[in-house]
A and B are shown apart, each in its own frame.
Chain A
Amino acid sequence: MAERILDVKNLKIDFHTYAGEVRAIRNVSFHLNEGETLAIVGESGSGKSVTTRSIIGLLARNAQIMGGEINFHGKNLLDLSEKEWQKIRGNEIAMIFQDPMTSLDPTMKIGQQIAEPLIKHKGASKKEAWAKALEMMKAVGIPNAEERINEYPHQFSGGMRQRIVIAIALICEPEILLADEPTTALDVTVQAEILDLMKDLQKRVKTSIIFITHDLGVVAGMADRVAVMYAGEFMEYGTVDDIFYNPQHPYTWGLINSMPTLESDTLESIPGTPPDLLDPPKGDPFAPRSKYAMKIDVERKPPFFKVSDTHYAATWLLAPGAPKVEPPKEIQRRWKKFKLMQEEHS
């Protein structure tokens, strides 16, 4: 068993707004194993960004943690003071943001920006830090690094800027890297390069990654494990193969089914919109949009049912005695493949 580096338990976060309390994160628990990539998938407003931001202490001012713990090296991160946070942030836990255009300081040379965490966290001298920054720029694949180290962010393209952001995040060799939609703003060919780079650096630096995205294609290529999030809760989690070939929650089915694949001639959309978290639904939050919903789904929140040692899903469909339903064709195709894969293994 791999060692758990991060353990999040029963996390609850509310946002104060003029309209009332938004229950953004509602009892979320998960862990991160050493060296793995955990992808959190969900639509906008599902709470995936808020979850990661709570792990690095960067919640918005109107956010309030209502309960739970985030354990990292025996410490509950939720108890840290801002001063203690500053020792961890960018050092042991680092983050890559979605928009490479706004996450760099336009008035600072990029060499300075990459070197800064080393000087601040590791007590490196300016000279050492500068040399390491140069090395890092080469590692993330910026051509002519010797010259470009003196340039400013506006002189770089979006893809190059995201490489710089990655260099800054990884220069202290953090134990955990949080990547919030790091390639969403990029073109597909650039995205492919950045994803390859992240995989490569992960091996070298031995960091564990929490990868936030809405793109199931990216998840399939990057993740060891996947958690599917909806309306502030986890719906299902498991290994990448569990989620893509043996999905159990109707929301996961809907997500997979609404993406065109090479074989698909029809596109099944999920009707409706996500619920308003000012007044979160009592039962399974996906029930109002699900054609597989039963009466109990609306009334009572399903617990996580165990599918296998690695795979859990919060749907009443897995309860003993639940009616057998026929999932969408694409899902049945994937289930068949999963069976074949398991037979091959055994």
Chain B
Amino acid sequence: MAEKKKILEVKHLKQYFKNGRVTTKAVDDVSFDIYEGETFGLVGESGSGKTTTGRSILQLYKPTSGEVIFEGKNVEKLKGREEQLQFRRDAQMIFQDPYASLNPRMTVEDIIAEGLDIHHLVKSKEERRARVEELLETVGLNKNHASRFPHEFSGGQRQRIGIARALAVKPKFIVADEPISALDVSIQAQVVNLMIELQKKQGLTYLFIAHDLSMVKFISDRIGVMHFGKLLEVGPADAVYDRPLHDYTKSLISAVPVPDPEVERKRQRIAYDADKEERDGKERTMHEIRPGHFVRCSDDEVAHYQEVAASYE
């Protein structure tokens, strides 16, 4: 992985929300890198800060502190409208809810072409139409769907429209925030397969945010696990799933239902005490326990995690 190029670096990202006197630390000192062409899966339960992280990376929120570096440039300090527009083109988003994320009053053509218009990527109406039709076919829809409205489509089809919209401006990096959670099982596989196929063909990089661990493991090269705004573990997908280090990751994996009755009958749940790490007040940072496999711990816990890692070998 060392020779691979970093497309995105997140450094000590903090995103706090103030509500009166209460400050919510939605994202609290999170750092990770995403390499070109890979899928980085970010998992966590509701309130873990995974969605906020994705949104802060795209500057949909102004981060409280920390840096987001995209292709070597700090996205908060982009110079001039041109650089900003370029970032908005290169980094796109696919949203969770295919019902809420498409404007019901716009035709599919206008939805998909909005980015094309803003970035002046097409010169004529004909070109615009042709590009939209091409995109529709890329995502497995019919080209005469272009003149229809969102309500005429099923959930899976809408998510395809959302993907076509993201692809329209030829991005390099896509944040996909729970893109399949709202879909039926049989449709989820369709959308995931489409995303994988597009990645292969167009060399896309994904930040795939989800709570469904089995699907994240399937699609991701590397996985990050978030809990209460903190990133607890990062590593290759297989390592995090099969050889988890952090107790929270273990508890999360032990809770995932498996479509196999025998496995379910034998399942042992592992409970996680979230307060334990809070109480001792130790300073915790990311430590590399195995090559590429990091866990958030204090200096004196490193030995313990070395043992955990060794126990799998």
Contacts and interface: CB of A to CB of B under 8 A. Distances in A.
Do A and B bind?
Answer: yes
Nearest to B218: A260
A255 interface: yes
A265 B192 CA distance: 13
Interface residues of A, number: 38
Interface string A25-51: 000000000000000000110000000
B256 A188 contact: yes
A190 B46 CA distance: 11
B35 to A, nearest CB: 21
A138 B12 CA distance: 42
Given A196-B269, A267-B193, A241 B185 contact: no
* Interface of B (DSSP majority class): helix
A189 B46 CA distance: 11
Interface of A is mostly: helix
Nearest to A259: B259
Interface in A234-274: 240-241, 244-245, 254-256, 258-262, 264, 267-271, 273
B51 to A, nearest CB: 13
A217 B259 contact: yes
Contact of B185 (A158, A192, A216): A216
A53 interface: no
A187 interface: yes
B210 to A, nearest CB: 11
B296 interface: no
Interface residues of B, number: 37
B211 A188 contact: yes
B189 A268 contact: yes
A189 B261 contact: no
A82 to B, nearest CB: 34
Choose among B155, B186, B251, B264 the residue with the greatest number of A CB atoms under 10 Å from its CB. B186
Interface in A181-215: 187-192, 195-196, 214-215
B259 A256 contact: yes
Interface in B29-82: 45-46
A26 B272 CA distance: 46
Given A189-B272, A255-B186, A268-B189, A273 B154 contact: yes
A264 B218 contact: yes
B14 interface: no
A221 interface: yes
Contacts of A196: 269
Nearest to B43: A188
Nearest to A217: B257
Contacts of B193: 267, 269
Contacts of B218: 260, 264, 267
Nearest to A195: B257
A195 B257 CA distance: 10
Contact of B252 (A189, A219, A271): A189
From B155, B213, B260, name the one whose CB has the most chain A CB atoms within 10 angstroms.
B260
A190 B272 CA distance: 12
A221 B260 CA distance: 8
Contacts of B252: 188-189
Given A220-B258, A221-B264, A241-B261, A189 B185 contact: no
Interface string B175-216: 000000000111111101100000000000000000101110
A187 B255 CA distance: 9
B214 A189 contact: no
A15 B217 CA distance: 41
B267 interface: yes
B213 A188 contact: yes
B100 interface: no
A217 B256 contact: yes
B216 to A, nearest CB: 9
A268 B254 CA distance: 25
A162 to B, nearest CB: 14
Given A192-B269, A270-B189, A220 B259 contact: yes
B259 A258 contact: no
B251 A258 contact: no
Interface string A53-77: 0000000000000000000000000
A237 B265 CA distance: 20
B215 A260 contact: yes
A277 to B, nearest CB: 13
A335 to B, nearest CB: 14
B46 to A, nearest CB: 6
Contacts of A270: 186, 189-190
A218 interface: yes
Contacts of A218: 257
A255 B156 contact: no
B1 interface: no
B45 A187 contact: yes
B256 A261 contact: no
Contacts of A262: 258
5 contacts: A188-B213, A192-B255, A244-B259, A259-B185, A267-B193
The 3 closest A-B pairs by CB, nearest first: A217-B257, A269-B189, A221-B264
Interface of B: 45-46, 154-157, 184-190, 192-193, 211, 213-215, 217-218, 251-252, 254-261, 263-265, 267, 269, 272
Interface of A: 43-44, 158, 187-192, 195-196, 214-221, 240-241, 244-245, 254-256, 258-262, 264, 267-271, 273
